[in-house]
Each structure stands twice: as structure tokens, then as C-alpha cells.
């Protein structure tokens, strides 16, 4: 950008502005897709209270929950029985649970915390889950013979999480190595536009090229993007040749 050299992001007003542009460019990149390196197993925070036995708090940095599994064995001496808990949207979840008879001993009436009553079963492991506020997960049942509430250590949860950002000289953004050139190109393009009020054509071209390349190559372990064949014989998939590898599956 033909600006003065600096030793720290705090040396000048412009260096601070550039650091902020890099930060914004970083989170703009993250918003374009679910990045595989940010996906992993997480833990919810169980309510631990009998008044909401099937409520669990979602960690604040979670962007999207992929799946939930729960150990559904009915006896502690039995082998682990980890099975899916199926997501329902709030409407379908309430429709499903309101079919229950709240006069039965096997049905608990709980308060969601906003005055809404939910009917949950107390004699079986959870089958369905939903979230009304993106803060808490609510499950439709629990087995009070096994536990008084849903247990965090009996769950497997996979989710995409948002990384943190630190405004320091030695901070390294949480990106795959091949994505850093795209971040630099995007930040450079944005910096020229914001600070110099001009478009840097070279930076623009590089940013577009890198974005297109990254859109085809996301997963390290899954061999890149695969394309549908639409009934063509002789090929089941086509991979980006940049990341071609021998198929053993």
C-alpha cells in the first residue's frame, strides 16, 4: 500500500485500521461456508436441575450443530448404545410432544422458562430435540430410572464452532494453511478500497481466484468437491484434479 513500515499493529492509526480490516476480512471469509477445520465434537452444559431435566445450554461459540447422539441403554450394566437423537423444528417438536397425556405418571410437564409448557417422557432416552432460542437444546424425554436429568457424558455432539480473534502482533488466525493467501488478498483489496479509496485490480483478481479455488477444496480428508454425473455411465464422481488421489473406497 506504499505506507510507512511498522513494527506493531498499534504503531500508527493506519496500522490499527489495517488490523481491523484483516479481522473483518477473516470473519467475512468464515461466513461464506462451514469450514471443515472448525467442525468437531463439543459438549453441551446440562441443566442439572430437576425442573428442566432435558434442557442443555449450547456453548456461545457454536455456529451450527451437525448431529446429536445419546447413550440409550436401559441398564447401566449393558453395553453402550449410542444412537441418533433426531432434530425437529420447534413447531413439529411441540406438535409431537403435545400428543402426550400429561395426567400419566410417565409424562412430566416442564416450563421452558418463558411460560411455555412442554410435555416430556420420563421413562425413555431422548428421541428428538429442538431449540426455541438457539441458546438451549431441549430434548423430548429422559429415563429417570437411569438419570434424573439428561447427562452430558452420555452425549456425542458434532458442531461447527466460531474461532476467536486476538488483536496482538503474534496472533495467527485459525485458517487452513491454503486459505491464508486468500485472507491476505481479501484484506489487501479491502484496505485499498477503505483507506486509499481506490481499487487494486491485482488484489481483486487474486482474491476472486483464491475464493474460487477454496470453494472447490474444503475437506482435507474427503478429497475435495465431488460433482453429480446426472446419469452418465462410466464415472460416478469427478474430483477437482488439483487434489486427485487414488480412490480406495
Q: What is the pLDDT of residues 96-121, one digit of tens each?
A: 999 999 999 999 999 988 888 999 99
**Global pTM?**
0.69
| Residue 2 maps to a domain | no
Look at the alpha carbons of 30, 31, 32, 34 in this order and tell me if their dihedral is positive or negative: positive
Domain count, the chain: 2
103 and 48 in one domain? Answer: yes
Q: What is the pLDDT of residues 115-153, one digit of tens each?
A: 889 999 999 999 999 999 989 999 999 999 999 999 988
208 and 144 in one domain? Answer: no
| Residue 219 maps to a domain | yes
| Residue 72 maps to a domain | yes
> For residues 234 and 242, which has the higher predicted lDDT (pLDDT)?
234
203 and 191 in one domain? Answer: yes
pLDDT band at 27 (very low <50, low <70, confident <90, very high): confident
E strands present in the chain: 39-42, 45-46, 55-57, 62-71, 82-87, 107-111, 117-121, 128-130, 136-139, 155-161
155 Cβ partners below 8 Å, 6+ apart? 43, 44, 56, 68, 69, 70, 71
β-partners of residue 130 are: 138
109 and 197 in one domain? Answer: no
Instruction: Give the range of the structural domain holding residue 95, as residue numbers without chain letter.
Output: 39-161
User: What was the pLDDT predicted at 117?
Assistant: 93
223 and 147 in one domain? Answer: no
Amino acid at each position: 500500500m506504499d505506507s510507512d513500515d511498522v513494527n506493531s499493529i498499534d504503531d500508527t492509526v493506519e496500522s490499527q485500521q489495517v488490523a481491523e480490516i484483516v479481522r473483518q476480512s477473516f470473519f467475512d471469509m468464515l461466513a461464506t461456508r462451514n469450514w471443515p477445520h472448525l467442525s468437531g465434537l463439543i459438549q453441551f452444559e446440562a441443566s442439572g436441575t430437576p425442573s428442566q431435566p432435558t434442557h442443555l445450554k449450547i456453548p456461545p461459540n457454536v455456529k451450527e450443530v451437525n448431529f446429536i447422539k445419546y447413550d440409550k441403554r436401559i441398564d447401566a450394566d449393558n453395553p453402550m448404545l449410542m444412537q441418533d437423537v433426531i432434530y425437529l423444528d420447534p413447531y413439529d417438536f411441540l406438535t409431537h410432544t403435545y400428543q402426550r397425556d400429561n395426567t400419566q405418571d410417565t409424562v412430566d410437564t416442564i416450563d421452558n422458562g418463558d411460560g411455555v409448557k412442554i410435555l416430556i417422557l420420563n421413562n425413555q432416552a431422548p428421541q428428538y430435540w429442538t431449540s426455541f432460542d438457539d441458546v438451549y437444546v431441549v430434548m423430548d424425554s429422559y429415563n429417570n430410572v437411569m438419570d434424573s436429568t439428561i447427562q452430558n457424558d452420555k452425549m456425542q455432539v458434532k458442531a461447527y464452532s466460531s474461532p476467536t480473534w486476538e488483536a496482538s502482533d503474534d496472533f495467527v488466525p485459525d485458517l487452513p494453511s491454503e486459505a491464508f493467501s486468500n485472507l491476505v488478498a481479501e484484506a489487501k483489496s479491502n484496505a485499498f478500497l477503505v483507506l486509499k479509496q481506490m481499487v487494486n485490480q491485482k488484489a481483486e483478481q487474486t482474491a476472486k481466484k483464491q475464493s474460487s479455488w477454496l470453494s472447490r477444496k474444503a475437506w482435507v480428508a474427503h478429497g475435495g468437491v465431488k460433482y453429480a454425473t446426472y446419469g452418465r455411465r462410466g464415472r460416478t464422481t469427478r474430483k477437482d484434479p488439483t487434489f486427485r488421489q487414488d480412490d480406495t473406497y
